[in-house]
Amino acid sequence: MSLAASLDELSLNNSFAALPPDFYTRLEPQGLTAPRLLHANEDAAALLGLDPRALGSEAFLRVFAGLDPLPGGATLAAVYSGHQFGVWAGQLGDGRAHLLGEVRGPQGNWELQLKGAGLTPYSRMGDGRAVLRSSVREYLASEAMHGLGIPTTRALALVVSDDPVIRETVETAAIVTRMAPSFVRFGSFEHWASRRQPELLRQLADYVIDNYYPACRTAGEGAAPYLSLLREVIGRTARLMAQWQHVGFCHGVMNTDNMSILGLTLDYGPYGFMDAFRLDHVCNHSDNQGRYAWNRQPSVALWNLYRLGGALNVLIGDVDAVKAELEAFEPQFTTAFHDGMAAKLGIGSWRVDDEALLDGLLKLMHDQRADFTLTFRHLSDALLGQTQPFLDLYMDRDAAAAWLQQWSARQDDLGGDREARALAMNRINPLYVLRNHLAENAIRAAKQGDTSVLVELLRILRNPFDVHAGAEIYASLPPDWASDLEVSCSS
């Protein structure tokens, strides 16, 4: 298949825009003044079937700066509702996002959405803008998560401007173009259920099933496809939560309007990959109650799924059946979490007594604030007899050595080729993650117009399991100044 040489050669579908106008408001973005393309993602462009040479064109810049429509697109902002920090917030919606259109790519369809392109009817008290700082963070995070193999939205382009935006200080504006097969959220369903408009709720559910979960149609007649839809979303969400926990990722704002109906990591605001491990680590400086702490993410996901289940029960009409599906979340999450942790620890299939081994490690890491990523990565070194890198992460080396002895005994039970097992561990335990200070370095350089730090960081994060020559700084413990970095809902 030949690649499109320009945006106007792309094939568009615009399926969400074909829904009734109840679901969105059609409007044009408010483009940036004198925009500059900070970076364009060739990997994401390939998903659209777009030739990389098109990324440097003036037409590309104008579309993704919000100045021109996507050729063949149908620009809109979607409406939804949701629970924020556990409290019903009522109507929300795309307050600073504009869906440009849906492109038929070589291997599937992708919606293109501008984040930071101006006011919409759903902006509430916001200004509809995004700043360079948060835009760089989202751009990097979506590609970092993809490199880790975790379902996520993708990033196509990052456009900046000198337009002032007021946050805690005066910053400059930016627009990040993000991509996903769909941006429908749990809150999209809550919206119509709360408004007691079952026919619009049904229309949305049918749209999602027909476009993204067609196998649910084979579940039977009547309410069966909607119950099947809930079952599929529960499974995807359970697996996603396990994957987040495996890499020490904290979302920061797991509101129902930030939960993808496709099980994607959606809406990168105050996220963080843990450095020093804490079971109750909170990455969002605005989360004063610790609602979205690392160890609470699975239970919050289940809470959010109960809100989705309640909305879909308007169509299902069987509370017991809905509860039965929701009760499957915990065993699905637990199985996915244990399977992944067994792989990270290099212990083969999970056994019941491995719970004590894992709990012992997590307690050790928590008590001594050991680095999450390097702890697991250096286990492969320990497997081959090189225990120093692992032990060096701990102040109480005796306690670390005692746990390592328990783990080594478990390894002895397996026998086999330790070198092959170490290689397998390194394929699941990343050496590099998007640490806050690395993102901050890219932001500081980008503010000066220097994209070299961002480009190099992207190169490494796209292959986070492989050792990159000369990239030791990206796999090092964070510098002292990193402890002062804070991210909040304004990020």
3-state secondary structure of 174: strand
Short-list 462, 454, 393, 455, CA closest to 433: 462
Place of tokens 């004063």: 288
The tally of CA atoms less than 13 A away on the side-chain side of residue 136 is 29
Neighbour tally for 86: CB within 10 Å: 15
Find the angle CA(341)-CA(342)-CA(343) to the nearest 5 degrees.
90
Measured over the CA atoms of residue 349, residue 228, residue 267 and residue 490, the dihedral's sign is: negative
Distance from C-alpha of 75 to C-alpha of 363, rounded to nearest angstrom: 50
DSSP string over 109-139: EEEEEEESB---TT-TTS-SBEEHHHHHHHH
Distances (CA, A) of 400 to 12, 243, 394, 422, 439: 56, 25, 7, 19, 30
Distances (CA, A) of 114 to 17, 29, 111, 139, 166: 16, 8, 10, 12, 19
Structural contact between residues 96 and 118, judged by C-beta atoms closer than 8 angstroms: yes
Neighbour tally for 369: CB within 10 Å: 15
Distances (CA, A) of 373 to 10, 87, 304, 394: 40, 33, 28, 13
Is 235 exposed, middle or buried, given 0-12, 13-18 or 19+ CB atoms closer than 10 A? Answer: middle
Q: Which two tokens stand for residue 471?
A: 């990239």
- Whether residue 257 lies in the annotated active site: yes
Q: Which two tokens stand for residue 151?
A: 């379902």
Q: Which of 68, 257, 275, 287 is an active site residue?
A: 257
Neighbour tally for 56: CB within 10 Å: 10
Query: Annotated active-site positions, please?
Result: 257
